Structure 1
Amino acid sequence: MNKRIADYYYIFDGRSGRSVAVERSSGKPASVIPNKELDDEMKLARYLESEQSSHVLRAFACWCARQTWQEEAPSQRCYSLWNTARAVCTRRAPVSALREVRAASDNEAVAASTIGLPRRSPEAAQLLAARGCADPDVHTAVHDAMHMSLRWAECVAPSDPETAIRMMRTRHRNALLDAINGDAPFTTKKHRERSDPDPGV
C-alpha cells in the first residue's frame, strides 16, 4: 500500500528551507528511509541524470510540480517558484535565483507544512510541490516534487486516495522511462524557447 499524509509528520526545516516528511513509524525523514516510498523512482531519476544531465532531471521535477495544476491554475507564488526552476533548467537563470525565490515563500511554506497538509489542503500540497522543484539541490528537488505531487493527488481524491496516489506514481515512472528512451514530456531541448503564460495576467 502507498504511503499517505497520515503516515508522516511534516516539519518545516528553517535551515534547509524544506518541508521535511518524517515517517511516524520510524521517526526518520522520508528521504533517508531504506525502501522508502520513492526509492524506485529515485533510482530511475539518477540513471536518467547519468545518461543525460542534471538539467533534464530539474525539468522532470518541474513536470512533477506541474501535475498539481490539473484541477485549477496555480497561485502566483507557485508559478513564480516553478518558472524560476524552469529558467534554471533551461540555463536562463543561475541556481542562486532558486534560493531567492524560495526565501520569499518561506512563511507560506511553514503554514502549508504545519497546517495545510494535515488538513489535506490541495493548495498546500501544490505550493510545496512548486517549492520542491525549486530546491537548489536537484536530487532533493526531484524527491520533494514527486512526494508533494503524490500528496496533492491524495488531497483531491478523498473518496479513493489509494487509486489517485497509484496513478500519479505510474505517471512519474512512465515520464522517467520515456525520458530515458529519449521521448520525455518535459525535456528542456523541446521547450527551450517556449514560454508558458503567466496565470496572473
Structure 2
Amino acid sequence: MKTFFMLKCTLLTMKSDVIEVHDRSADIYDDMSILVENHGHEVLFGLAFEHLSTGDSVLDIGIGTGLSSYLFHKAGLKVYGVDGSETMLDICRKKEFAVELKLCDLTAERWPYEDGKFENVIACGIFHFFEKLDLFLKETNRVLKKDGTFSFTVMVSEDDISYYTDTGSGLSIYYHSDFQINELLNKYGFSMLKHINFFIYKAPDKKEKLMFKGHLAKKV
C-alpha cells in the first residue's frame, strides 16, 4: 500500500511515472488527508493569519485539489495556484474558488508570473520531494512583493538523516533541517518570523507518524 505522502500532488519533476501516481491519487486526496490527520494547511494558515488582508493575493505552489489554500480564500484572499497534475487542477477548478490555476513544472527556471505579483506565497507538503530548494526560494522571492509572507512545510528527521527511500514507490523523501532552512532564507532575502512542529500519520492505520515543521518567513 502506498503511503499518503506518495499520493500528494506535488511531485513536480514531470516524470511520467510520478505524474501517473499523482493523477491516480487526485480523487482520494482530500479524504486521505482526513484519515491521516493532515493539518498542514491549517498550520500554515494559522501561522500567516495575522499578516493577511482581505483582497490580497496568495500563490499556492503545488495547489493540487486546493485543500492547502481554501482557508486563505475563506479569509477573503485571491487564490492563484500552480501544479504539475492537470487531474488535480481539474478537481480544484470544480471547487470554484481560485482566481487562476496553471499547469506548471515547478522545477522550471522561471515560474509563469511577473516580479512582485503576490502578497503571499504558500507551499504545503511539497518540499520533502526535493533535495534542493534553492529554485523555490529564488522564485518565491521574485514573485513576492516586499514584506510579503512565505509559509511552507518541511519534513523533520528525528534520527538526523537527510533522506530515505519510500518502499511503496521507490521515491526519495528528503528532510530539511533548521540549519538548511535558515541558510536558504538568508541567502534569498527572507527573515524567519516563526515556526511550529506538527505531525501527520504516514498511513490511515495510524501506526507511524511523520514529523513536520511549518515556517513563516517574510521577504525583506
Question: Does the TM-score normalized on the shorter chain lie above 0.5?
Answer: no
Greater strand share, structure number: 2
Greater relative CO (CA pairs within 8 A, separation 6+) = 1
TM-score, normalised to structure 1, is 0.30
